[in-house]
Amino acid sequence: GDSVTQMEGPVTLSEEAFLTINCTYTATGYPSLFWYVQYPGEGLQLLLKATKADDKGSNKGFEATYRKETTSFHLEKGSVQVSDSAVYFCALSDLGSGNTPLVFGKGTRLSVIA
Amino acid sequence: GAVVSQHPSWVICKSGTSVKIECRSLDFQATTMFWYRQFPKQSLMLMATSNEGSKATYEQGVEKDKFLINHASLTLSTLTVTSAHPEDSSFYICSARSGTSGRGEQFFGPGTRLTVL
């Protein structure tokens, strides 16, 4: 079945450091790919998405490129801030599987220190 | 953008009581709603999927008589935790998808923290 694998956390960075959170996937169809962010005590918010190969999703300085050849959707940000501290989830939606829920990775906790 | 609300945001109850959590899509019609449970510092665990007007589909290991889900309209789904016990304490999150959601996107509520004493 479909699956998402993302790097284990926690990740601790200093403010203004470069961030990469790796995400790879397996899917039977042609999935859409998502990054969601969860701030402490809150639900999930969509951070960015990409619906086809080579698409780049971007938002709030974060970006990720849908790489079909490597089945990856790595999240990057050039300069993190303390306010970026949160848990980041990579997810896919394989519409070829009907109306099924998103498949999530296990999440990566990011802590940014001043 | 699409907004999903949950009520209450937190609840504390005594063991043996039942608790109802509401999930509403505020500005779109949710053809499908999902209920998740999240333990501290862990990922989301899908509990069930519900389509408006039909019975929910529960994931393996989730007791349907324990966690009653009703999706009576295109904007409202409820999760009732019956005869709650301390092990039911958790963070419950609902999510909704509309028929026009871009390529499977799901919109999430802010979550409900349940504490059973």
Instruction: Give the best residue of A3, A33, A42, A44 to mutate against chain B (max B CB count within 10 A).
Output: A44
- What is the C-alpha to C-alpha distance for residues B112 and B24, in angstroms, rounded to an integer? 13
Each residue's pLDDT tens digit, A58-77: 999 999 999 999 999 999 99
CA B79 remoteness from chain centre: 5
Peptide bond into B8 cis (omega under 30): yes
Highest mean predicted confidence (pLDDT) among A89-103, B19-33, B96-110: B19-33
Contact B103 A49 (CB under 8 A): yes
- Report whether B31 contacts B51 (CB < 8 A): yes
Each residue's pLDDT tens digit, B45-88: 999 999 888 889 999 999 999 999 998 888 999 999 999 999 99
Mean pLDDT of B3-7: 94
Helix spans in B16-92 (H): none
Contact A106 B43 (CB under 8 A): yes
- DSSP single-letter state for residue A84: G
Contact B104 A102 (CB under 8 A): yes
Phi, psi of A84 (to 5 degrees): -85, -5
Phi, psi of A20 (to 5 degrees): -135, 130
Please give, rounded to a whole number of angstroms, the shortest distance from the CA of A90 to a CA of chain B. 11
Residue B43 has pLDDT above 90, yes or no: no
